[in-house]
Chain A
């Protein structure tokens, strides 16, 4: 009977090094998804607040679909669906070869869709919080609509959207756990392997939970720092 401390130590007897590798994969996945999800979410929000009804419709269909399907199902649809489509295309080009998607990329695509559908709602409500006069002021000093967006609206938008986006980042960190279901060696899967080998399931899954908590705490420190940096330039009224 090994003690919990030995099991959680670094090295050949302990599992800490394996779990640390899982933490690295989890953080990489979340960080790799973030920029794509934010960009896509921003453009979907842009479509949803546009005056053009067809653009609004297209944006709303996007959010409806990815917010309505369970995250795990989205992941499976992409993990099993994309190879089917790829194979179809590859066979057209060169018969006999096969295509596959690894679990990291599949997880990244699925999480990007999910994250962007939620972040588009956050951006949309931030857009609505910016008064029309800001756009008009921008146009009146001769800025083009792209410049107005970049120089006047976007800096305010980020400040308003930040709390909502911080929340979504924490959700994204938790959602990475789902990718363990398609075989990515992240925190939960590594802990699961340790649990199966050592038969200390409660210890290892509890430890995994604590790591997720730790990641959340570390992120909230980071978020606070960003909020202070962004909020510092706010006009005092």
Chain B
């Protein structure tokens, strides 16, 4: 018996050496730097702790956060509605229709969101007589409405591409199979194509929402007091740098929550695809 265990011991491969390789040292140093940075931020926030600052500006931050979320929610929903006809036009065989949709998508994806927002917010003044005639001037006088208008048009272009990509990712055989069962196009779309397409589209949609939340910070430049706007206002009044750090923490928490939420949903709805 003892002989057998001895040979077994001899046959075993040597334990992998886990010394302090260069990589490991570098990794620990870098993690150490991040920890130091994190501690530095915490220490800074503790030493800069100012009850007055909080009492005065914390409610502003909360209302700013509300405005950011409201702006993103409205724009995403309006963009989703608007993206359906654009995606349809983009996929149609009519060259005029698809060309128009292509130009729309190309313009809104090829220019900065900030330029689009400025175009709406400042440029709309050039059409004041016309807008007053149709009674829309009151709507466009508000910076918040201009932001919603610009953001909806922008995200519609991105969402149209997501939708198109997802629908085109479903193989042709699915259409043909549904047709052979006698389903008409709308039924096929609703019952066969979309359920499969939306699984593909979930992650890009999640990314688009995250991009919108991050992109919405630019409305601060056109005087909307969203989270970023409140932050700038607070900094302008107090010259206290912690105002920016708090905003960064809030944005980081929102984005990370969303990202993990999307990942969780994706794991749930693709359970039947994993074997």
Contact = CB atoms under 8 A, between A and B. Distances in A.
Interface of A: 47, 50-58, 61, 64-65, 67-73, 76-77, 80-81, 84, 170, 174-178, 180-181, 188, 192, 195, 200-203, 205-206, 208-209, 212-213, 216
28 contacts: A51-B23, A54-B27, A54-B31, A56-B27, A57-B27, A57-B31, A61-B31, A64-B252, A64-B256, A65-B252, A69-B255, A70-B217, A70-B228, A73-B217, A73-B231, A76-B232, A77-B244, A81-B241, A174-B110, A178-B112, A178-B218, A180-B114, A195-B123, A202-B125, A208-B118, A209-B119, A212-B115, A213-B111
B247 to A, nearest CB: 6
Given A55-B23, A70-B215, A192-B118, A202 B124 contact: yes
A58 B123 contact: no
B127 interface: yes
B251 A195 contact: no
B111 A61 contact: no
A33 to B, nearest CB: 15
Interface of B: 21, 23-24, 26-28, 30-31, 33-34, 106-107, 110-116, 118-119, 122-127, 213-218, 220-221, 228, 231-232, 235, 241, 244-245, 247-248, 251-252, 255-256
B114 A206 contact: no
- Overall SS of chain B's interface: helix
A76 B247 CA distance: 11
A177 B112 contact: yes
A173 to B, nearest CB: 8
Please give me the 3 A-B residue pairs with the lowest Cβ-Cβ distance, nearest first: A54-B27, A202-B123, A55-B27
- Overall SS of chain A's interface: helix
Contacts of B214: 69-71
A188 B27 contact: no
Contacts of B33: 58
A210 B210 CA distance: 26
Nearest to A58: B30
Contacts of B218: 72, 178, 181
B114 A69 contact: no
A58 B241 contact: no
Nearest to A220: B110
B111 A209 contact: yes
Interface centre among A58, A65, A67, A174 (most CB of B within 10 A): A58
A197 to B, nearest CB: 13
A22 to B, nearest CB: 12
